[in-house]
Structure 1
Amino acid sequence: RGAAPGQTSAPRDLEPPAPTTADNYPSADVFEHTEQTFLEEKLLEMVAGPLSEQEAADLCACDVAELCVGAMAGIQELDKVRTIFDASVIGVNDNIRANTDKKTTAPTLYDLLFAWLHLASKDLTLFKSDVSKAHRRIKVLKKHWRYMVAKIKKKFWVNKVGTYGVASAQLYWGRLAAILTRLSYQISEVFLWVLVFVDDFMAVMKESLGELGAATLMLFLTLLGCPISWHKNALGKVNRWLGYMVDISEGSVWLPEEKMTVLRPALARLESGELHTRKEITSLLGKLQWVAKAYPQVSSHLQPLYAWEQKLERKCKPGDLVRFLATLLLSILDTGPCVPLRLQRNTPCYGSSDAGEDDGWVAIGGWFSPSLNPAKAEVLWFSMDVLATPWAQPLLAHTSAKRRIGALELLGTLILFLLAAESLGPSMVDAHLPLTTDNEGNAFSASKRSSKKWPCSALLMELSAQEFHKGVFAQATHVKRSSNTWADQLTHFDFEGFSPEKRRDVSLSWTPSWMILEKLLSFKSDQ
């Protein structure tokens, strides 16, 4: 078998099985749109039919047994029904990949944000344009038609052009799209960046040149004969890219409301502890992986949901960790836009915390300072008698004695973060706050933002929620106990050398503004 340009023949011992035939998915029978689409495309010579099986074989110049009838499906999207030819289930895609040594790449959300991040001027606008039936504009050699035969209502249709669901479609359309992108840069300097994802073009331009750039790109594509979906053209600082809403002036991203109307109820069901099937969790995980591209804080907390999915064999209620995750996600998503890509900068602020417990007393202490090597009298500090602090009692009530000290040390890190972030103010958005602890396990869990055990799991999720809402990020690291003497001194209520004027009360006159911890504690109270 010969290889097409850009392809290479695989060794015979590595060849996948020959392509075969498969029945349609149920959705192909439900949607009349599939047949209507073929009738419209027949006028454009993209498809031939309806045919008998023998007529289809004759058209493809092959035997009936050599026809590969793919599994058709219809997927309901926002404004249309998309017809898909599943060439994977019949083995066609495996054969294409085995004989292809190149793969086209496509930009993602982060490529657009990368452009925003590195452009000196943020006075930008976006123009989006969509190519109508992009894959269907690429002709396929007649000898390959046999691998793209569809069957609708006992009649056969032969695809003559690139087909959605066949691996080679994007390979060849992607090359043409790349040529169009490169030519766009040559015809006008108005385009700072031009990105194309499958059939969606996105041009980044200065706002003052936005209308000129949009007109130039549309005229250029039209002159080349590239068919445009005119109703999908959009120009503005706020635009839609790969399903996300993007504000190019701020570099911010959020989810469209129609996506939120699907996610909110799904997460609310999870949070309330309702019964779920494995199929429901798999579907939700797919959506959350997409969400994590816009809200990267989500990624590190998905592990419990993956673990539950693997164990789920029948309808079951979620455990605490999964419910905590749902609460965290709802808190983050309801906040609004996120700026997922920024240049990291460390703050001129350093601190450390510790916790201690002995007969009759339990304490947390910590300090922070804008100086790397401050004198003890210069630091801001706190020392808290845990047993005498009203707001800390619900956490203690649901924490076993065995896990209490580790939880208190992590609570100390959280309090230190809140106080330090408060002292920084809004001017230090996206700052990374270096904090230290002598609990190596907590430092490791905090770096991953992940823990399987109560109450550390709840405290870390609260930390993530606080980070997202405040725009300041805790950079927790481990230090040896011998290097954490000041924080240890404060846990013993020894204030020698510390300035009384720089003390921050975290016991009686201060109540933390928790984002989700109170709700997580209520889950434990209900059990």
Structure 2
Amino acid sequence: MVKAVKGGPRGEPVEVSNATLSGEMVKAVNGEARGLQLAQPAPTEELEDDWQKEQPEEPSSDEEPDGTLKPKLQDHRGGVGPPVQVDWGGRVRELTDGFGLCSPTRWHPKDRHVRSAFTEKLRDTVLKHVNKWWPETTKTVMFLAVGKEIHKPSEEELGLLREDWFRLLPDPEMASKLPAFQPFFLHAMAQTADLQGDPDWRVLDRVKDSYAEGVPVGFQEKMPRVPAVFRRKTRWRKVNESCLNTDMDNYSSAALAGDALRKSFVEESKLGMMFETALTLAKEQFKDRLRIAALGAIEKSDDSFRILFDGTHGVKLNNDIKPRDQLDFPMGSDAGTQLAHSKEDMPGAHFTIAADVSKAHRRFKHAVRDWGLLTCRDNGAATGDMVWINRVGTFGVASAAYWWGRLAGLIGRLSGRLLGRSFCWQSIFADDLVILAGGQDKWLSILLIIAAWLMVGTPLAWHKFRGGLTTDWVGYYLDMQTFSVGISLARAQWLTRWAVQVHQDGMADMRRFAEALGRLGFAAQVLLWAKPFLAPLYAWSAAAPSEATIRVPKMIRLTLLFLEEQLKDGRHMLPCRKLWRDHGEWFRTDAKCDPDKVVLGGWVCKEGTPTSRASWFSLTLTKIQVPWLFKTDKGSSWASTSAELLATIVAIQAFDISCETGGTAVTRISAGTDNQANDRLSRKMSSTKMPLGLLLMQLATTLSLRRLQLRLDWRPREENSEADDLTNDRFSDFDETERILISWEQVDKSLLEKLLLCQEEYEDELSALKKREAPAPKRKGKEKRCRTEWA
């Protein structure tokens, strides 16, 4: 039987439509205190000031606090060779699943390590009970997906599984002990992780400040470093400074919660998460480490309240907490990559299940010495003598996400090793778990993962299970039928309704505009075609007064109209398929900018084609044809980057390059340029500079229509001499019969022409907004919060 040890100590932005948080609390909610916030893309340079770039601290010690050697990543890889590579939007990186660098589910199933003898026994043990609980595996998973009632293992049934688990371990008696104030069988997890070769097993119960004893808050002390599991953290979000006040009053929003605050505390006290005590006793026990933080509350859609602990203002906890490990969360591009491999490498039907961990960030306990730092009051005690003290992780404290993420990583790696080479992926973002599975054993793989999480003590929220052939996960929509990722149709319709309204009204409430722009930015993390179109929206939003309703420039309206048309056309989802073919470098281009003309040139160099047999073009444009590339007294010399990007657009059309197969396949090509800026732009696909930003929009549209991905690679000028010759009327190395005679009128530039008509008005209005007197205080990007439900 399970024994308890006595003693021993813990996308989508928050909706605040009905809250009355103070300005400072809003910053805490939407800034550093947000443990569950979805990662949002930075608009461009506007958010850079919100981050502190610092040099890494002194090199990490090679030893753990107890003197044992610290594990190295190279000794604890989750598979053979490199992890799966995510190639998304011009950036190549390793797959992230949220479970750490050594997680086996970062590797393709065929490259994962074969299960060890111990792991094979553990898998068989778990499956024995899975088959008892859920004999009809397909039906069980189907019911989970649609929210129907299934058999939930009782505590007695879970106890039997755990007893079988403990018998596989070196010290079954210790394994059976459940450390107080938290739900996980940490001793059993530690022995299991050790036998599986996990590099971080010791933190569970062997080192000082272990999860079993209680982990530190990290206030005014050095946080740990685990190089085998996490990258080193080198940037920290700036924390608002305030005057020290160790006894803060609650915010007015907490008062609106009324008795709900105390009821919540009482319920959590029954779980051992917190306790009520007299203020005098708390002062006597914790002395100068007693900090009473302000609470806020946000009303949720079910009329309950989300309680927020402000660890920044007054108490200044977060100002002196500095995690040294970087938590990496999976994004839509990671899910898209998993879907791409699922489609290509495991034919047949695939299925997905998403689950939530209940109160995840409150499921680990803190060291007793730090409990006083986590003190607060309910409404009834606001002026009284009683306080509530948290024993466990607290939403609003900077280290909460780290300690939960590290613990979740251990669970994810433990369960992931049970999969072996089954075609199953699992990922976690904060408390949101998702499982993608294919192959003949997919139903069993899904239930195996769920059972493993339950076995170690994870409190999964049964009412939040969802899935099927499609599911939503942390704001993204995953479709296992078409193997595509994006946003749901309902969310796309919300964006189109908003875009149509702004376009028709010609006016915008800038608060609502910022809200919608944040959602567009989130969508653009997977909908790559949308990235270039957001740049002018970001620039205008950053310059406009945040609290005003103002006239919308025609260019903004035109851009929104285009986005609306694309979303209505079904482009809220992006097919996730491996590239049909990567052709490598297809052509090279150049542009010559003279005082009175611009000359564009390019030639096809794919597969080593010599110039004597290559298709080529040379197009001369005058000031009358492209006046936007010329300036008084400067000619066109200032526009070399724009001109070379225009040469790329012309080359794609002149050489009539497109994907050679049907369906949703994509062909990748690259092109050579001697302009380094365009090399970077082809990866970033976003610029607020004009007309560069407009040309990127036209390029994105051209590529999308032809189902192409393009990468521009910089070449030194001496390696691009052939294209340079074409811009200087030197055609001797080329065959005149291979020349493509393309005129400016033949170039498809319809979107560009519409946008250029609005450029001058847009730039004038943008300049006027930037120069306005006494601008209203600007909220930083992190404080722009959603006020309306996003489907």
Q: TM-score range by the shorter chain?
A: 0.7 to 0.9
Superposed CA offset, 1:282-331 (max 9, x none)? 65665455334324566677666666666556646677887787567657
**Partners of 1:253 and 1:340 within 8 A in 2:** yes
> What displacement does 1:178 show?
2.9
Equivalents in 1 of 2:269, 2:363: separation in Å? Answer: 13
CA contact (8 A) 1:352 1:437 kept: yes
Residues 69-108 of structure 1 mapped to structure 2, 5 A cutoff? 69-74=293-298, 76=300, 82-91=306-315, 93-94=317-318, 97=321, 106-108=329-331
Query: Are 1:147 and 2:373 matched, yes or no?
Result: yes
Structure 1 residues 397 and 33: alpha-carbon distance in aligned structure 2, compared to 1, 3 A threshold: farther
Distance 2:517 2:328 in 1: 24
Task: Give the equivalent residue in structure 2 for 1:488.
Answer: 727
The one-letter amino acid paired with 2:487 is L
Comparing 70-79 with 462-471, which one deviates more in the overlay?
70-79
Q: After superposition, what is the alpha-carbon deviation per residue over 1:447-492, rounded to whole angstroms, capped at 9, x for unaligned?
A: 6545555433311221133334523214154546843255336x79
Quote how far apart the aligned CAs of 1:499 are: 1.6
2:485 corresponds to 1:256:
no
Q: How does 1:240-319 map to 2 (within 5 A)?
A: 240-247=472-479, 252-260=484-492, 263-264=495-496, 274=507, 277=510, 283=515, 286-287=518-519, 289-296=521-528, 315=548
1:80-104 Cα deviation digits (max 9, x unpaired): 7533222233446427725x66666
Alpha-carbon distance in 2 for matches of 1:143, 1:485: 70
The one-letter amino acid paired with 1:379 is A
What is the alpha-carbon distance in structure 2 between the residues aligned to residue 327 and residue 22 of structure 1? 48
Q: Residue 584 of structure 2 corresponds to which residue in structure 1? A: 347
* Aligned match of 2:609: 373
SS of aligned partner of 2:471: strand
Aligned partner of 1:435 in structure 2 is 671
In the alignment, which residue of structure 1 is the partner of 2:756?
Answer: 521
CA contact (8 A) 1:71 1:87 kept: no
Aligned residues: 507
**Within 5 A, what are the aligned runs for 1:128-527?**
128-140=354-366, 144-155=370-381, 158=388, 159-189=390-420, 190=422, 192-247=424-479, 252-260=484-492, 263-264=495-496, 274=507, 277=510, 283=515, 286-287=518-519, 289-296=521-528, 315=548, 335-338=571-574, 345-347=582-584, 349-352=586-589, 354=591, 364-368=600-604, 370-376=606-612, 378-382=613-617, 396=627, 402=634, 406=639, 409-420=644-655, 422-426=657-661, 430-436=666-672, 449-469=685-705, 470-475=707-712, 477=714, 479=717, 482-484=721-723, 487-488=726-727, 497-499=735-737, 503=740, 505-506=742-743, 510=746, 512=748, 514=750, 516-524=751-759
8 A contact 1:84–1:165 mirrored in 2:
yes
CA distance in 1, matches of 2:446, 2:335: 17
Distance 1:423 1:191, change over 3 A: closer
Deviation of residue 414 (structure 1)?
A: 1.0
Aligned residues of 1:348 and 1:372 also touching (Cα < 8 A): no
Instruction: Identify the residue that residue 121 of structure 1 maps to in structure 2.
Output: 346
Per-residue deviation, 1:245: 1.1
What SS does the aligned partner of 2:657 have?
A: helix
CA drift of 1:416 comes to: 1.0
1:68 to partner: Cα distance: 0.7
Matched, 1:4 2:240: no
In structure 1, C-alpha distance between the alignment counterparts of 2:357 and 2:556, rounded to whole Å: 41
Change (3 A) 1:477 1:184: closer
Whether the 8 Å contact between 2:352 and 2:471 is mirrored in structure 1 is yes
1 CA distance for matches of 2:418 and 2:679?
Answer: 54
Residue 399 of structure 1: how far off its partner (Å): 6.3
1:254 CA drift (Å): 0.4
Please give the alpha-carbon distance, in whole angstroms, between the structure 2 residues aligned to 1:504 and 1:371.
23
Provide the C-alpha distance between the structure 1 equivalents of 2:358 and 2:518, rounded to a whole number of angstroms. Answer: 27
- The answer to whether the 8 Å contact 1:253/1:294 transfers is yes
Query: Alpha-carbon deviation of 1:244?
Result: 0.8
In structure 2, give the amino acid aligned to 1:169: A
What TM-score comes out, normalization by structure 2 length?
Answer: 0.52
Q: Which amino acid aligns with 1:197?
A: F
Greater shift, 241-250 or 125-134, is seen at 241-250
Higher helix fraction (1 or 2): 1
The Cα offsets for residues 166-197 of structure 1, whole Å up to 9 and x where unpaired, read as 33433443344234323323545447333233
Task: Give yes or no for contact 2:273–2:362 (8 Å, CA) kept in 1.
Answer: no
TM-score of the aligned structures, taking structure 1 as reference length: 0.73
> 2 CA distance for matches of 1:506 and 1:431?
26
Unaligned regions of 5+ residues in structure 1, if any?
A: none
Give the direction of change, closer, same or farther, for the CA distance of 1:126–1:492 in structure 2 (3 Å limit).
same
The answer on whether the counterparts of 2:591 and 2:598 sit within 8 Å (CA) in structure 1 is no
CA distance in 2, matches of 1:412, 1:366: 7
| SS class of match (1:293) | coil
Q: CA deviation at 1:37?
A: 6.0
Contact 2:336 2:485 in 1 (8 A): no
1:41 paired to 2:267:
yes
Q: Is the 8 A contact 1:431 1:471 kept in 2?
A: yes
Q: 1:440, 1:86 → 2: CA distance? A: 46
| Distance verdict in 2 for CA 1:266–1:9, change over 3 Å | same
1:58: Cα distance to partner? 4.3
Q: Which amino acid aligns with 1:413?
A: T
SS in 1 for 2:441: helix
One-letter amino acid matched to 1:178: G
* Contact 2:318/2:397, CA 8 A, preserved across alignment: no
- Which residue identity lines up with residue 483 of structure 1 in the other structure? E
CA contact (8 A) 1:395 1:521 kept: no
Alignment partners' CA distance in 2, 1:485 and 1:394: 22
The alpha-carbon deviation at position 132 of structure 1 amounts to 1.9
Q: 1:61 to 1:291 in 2, by over 3 A?
A: farther
Task: For residue 354 of structure 2, give the secondary structure of its aligned residue in structure 1.
Answer: strand
Identity over aligned residues, as a percent? 22
CA shift for structure 1 position 232? 2.2
Change (3 A) 1:454 1:493: farther
**1:37/1:96 CA distance change after superposition, 3 Å:** farther
Q: Which has the higher contact order (CA 8 A, sep 6+)?
A: 2
CA-CA distance at 1:128 after TM superposition:
1.8
- The 1:454–1:144 alpha-carbon spacing in structure 2 relative to 1, beyond 3 Å, is closer
Return 5+ residue gaps in structure 2 as ranges.
1-207, 223-240, 763-791
SS of the aligned residue for 2:296 comes to strand
Partner of 1:422, secondary structure, is coil
1:74 partner letter: I
